[in-house]
Structure 1
């Protein structure tokens, strides 16, 4: 069996309080393609947590049978800070109480670092694995102090080594849909068709906002826009909105 559980401590938000990110990993990094999924970055959006709980059970069964080819990371609840925000019962979970910031905004993007590397490199011919190492090194250098900043950095570091990154959300009232970069139009459309989602929202590469999926797409998108890798050679990330 290859199942590994990671417990990543976050800075304590208050005396006597401890929070951890929990990740489950299956398979082998060196075998085939890899995928990362998490849910609950907006901690008041619960259906994704249920989806990943069922997926975890299925992955455990497949792992026991030796049937996982590749590498999968699941973070079943990506925002323990938000899940602790109970106000008279219900979980608030969408905004950082320290500064009012949306938990799915202002992740540190990789486009400037990657563009600088491309401009300074004598030979831009790097393998996808070498690009992943560059992305990971960039994220490792982020200085984070608050619990939310550390949480965002660690989520990005968990995700960046994977080929496919999916961030599960679920608004109060919506149809299933997919958000992805314009450089990943074909793959986003294919994913929407597989999901039976009637809508794929394609955003400009420089849309801004710093959503979680943009960490991944900002790195790969810069490489792709420079003509160094094709769409299918690059990593793919998207925000998945489940049915409200």
Structure 2
């Protein structure tokens, strides 16, 4: 049996904007997924507390939490034969319960969520038969139907090719800008984070190495300290963000 080392987080003064697109980055094992699971209340704190709008997450019921935060864990789960519409309808659970009937308002919210992720025409397709990028969008539509102001996504680009990675990040950026959807996303690619995020949290061995604007993190010295390898930074030829390169 392989023993998995427990990640210990020490983040006494971490402040996460809930109305921006926030990227969490860092080495494997730096605590990114541990932090995400704590934010989603999938894992409990040994000490300390997490406040959302001044209220402790521990004081919220499961239904109340689901109305504030929606969470997509690492790896796309199977949709068990559900169509896109049926999957997205699951997002109404916090408002209707397991056996509540959907009314016209619910159906409008479901249709709008599908439209927001550009899956019109896919409503009756089996979710598991879609491409990786389409499945990812279907699950995000389910989160949008939940109508939580904050989306938490753990490495949503990890199983996607580069074209679908940028497609997904464009979608998340659009949701934040056009629909004021708060997004907190774990990313492995520093350049994706620098291009799309308003705020970056960089973890290193369970501690906060950096939190703030991407522009301040994207310099050679900080990136070398963060990743421990020779790196350089150059302006993007067609975008205002900078690009990090391994030397």
TM-score by length of 2: 0.30
- Greater Rg by CA: 2
More RCO (CA 8 Å, sep 6+): 2
